[in-house]
Amino acid sequence: MNKSNFFLFALVVLLAACNNSGDQNAIVAKVGEKTLSWDELKLVIPDNASAADSTALAEKYIEDWIREQVVINQAELTLSDEKKNFDELIENYRRSLLTYTYEQEWVKQKLDTVVSNQEIEKYYNDNLQNFQLKDYIVKVKFCAISLENKQTKQLKKLFYSDEPSDLVKWEKFCVENGASYYFDEDTWMLWDEFIKQIPLEVFDIESFLKRNKTTEFEKDNNLYLIAITDYQLSGSQSPLSFESEKIRTMIINRRKLDLVARMREDLYNKALSEKSVETYYSK
C-alpha cells in the first residue's frame, strides 16, 4: 500500500471510529499548538456522502487547513508584536461597518424612490452638457428566418409594410414560423448591443445609418431583414428617453446622500441640545 492509499485508508478508519465512538474532540491534525478536531472536520462532510466522497472532502479540508496553519505559524514567529497588533484596524473596521449598516437601514426606512417625469426632465435640461452620446444608438426592427422557409416573400411583404395591422401579422408570422424578431418603437438600443444580435458587418457606422433605412442579407442559411426607424450619432446630444432611467437612478442616489447627511446633522444637533456631548477645550 503506497503512502497516499495508506493515508486514505487511515483517514476512513479514523472518521468511522470517531463517528461510532462519539468522540467529537478526537484530533485529526496538528500544526504547532493548533489542532483540528473531528468536531470541526465533520461540519464539512455531508451526512449522506459516500465513503469515497467523505474521504476526498476530508483530505482536501485537512490539507488546506495544514497549509494555512503553516503560514500563520511562520507569520507569528516572524512578525514583530507591533505588526501583529490589529486592534486599531479591527476597531476602525467595526466602526465603519456599524455606521454603514445603520445608514443603510435609515435609508431603507426613509428614502422616497418615486421620481416624477417632471423631475427627470428638469434634471436633463439642467445638465444637458453631461448627456453626450459616446456610442451610436438606434431604434430598430429586425428578424431572421431560415432560407429553407418557403414563405420568405410573405415575410418581406409584412416586414416592410407601414400598415399597423401588418405589424401584428408580421409578429404572428415570426412566432408561427420560428423566426427570431425584435421591435420596440420606443426603446433606443446601443449599436454594439444591436450588432451582437445580427451578424452585420459595418465598417463606417455613420455612413451606414445615413444611407440605409432598410437592409437585408443572407448568412449562415438565414435571411436577415433590418429596418432602422431612428438613430443618433456618436457625439450628438443624447435623447431624454435614452437617459431617463440613468437620471432616475442619479436622482435617487442624490436623495440617499442628502438623507444620510441630514440624519448625521440632526443627530449631532440633538446631542448638543441634550448636552450629551462634552468638550474640554476652548476656542
CATH numbers and ranges of domains, the chain: 3-78 (no CATH), 133-232 (3.10.50)
Amino acid letter, residue 156: K
First vs last C-alpha separation in the chain: 82
Q: At what angle do helices 152-160 and 164-176 cross, to 10 degrees?
A: 150
pTM value > 0.95 = no
Comparing C-alpha atoms, which of 133, 138, 246, 148 is closest to residue 197?
A: 138
List 222's β-bridge partners, or say none: 146, 219
190: buried, middle or exposed (CB in 10 Å: 19+, 13-18, 0-12)?
A: middle
Q: Give residue 37's pLDDT.
A: 87
Distance CA 73, CA 96 (A): 30
Q: How many residues are present in the chain?
A: 283
- pLDDT per residue of the chain (283 residues) written in tens, 0 to 9: 443 443 444 555 555 555 544 555 688 888 888 888 888 888 888 878 777 887 888 888 889 989 999 998 898 888 888 888 888 889 999 999 999 999 999 999 999 999 999 999 999 999 999 999 999 999 999 999 999 998 999 999 999 999 999 999 999 999 999 999 999 989 999 999 999 999 999 999 999 999 999 999 999 999 999 999 999 999 999 999 999 999 999 999 999 999 999 999 999 899 888 888 777 766 6
Query: In which residue are the cell numbers 453626450 written?
Result: 132
Distance CA 55, CA 255 (A): 55
Say if residues 25 and 39 touch (Cβ distance below 8 Å): yes
Q: Give residue 1's pLDDT.
A: 40
Q: At what angle do helices 87-110 and 240-273 cross, to 10 degrees?
A: 110
**What SS3 class is residue 172?**
helix
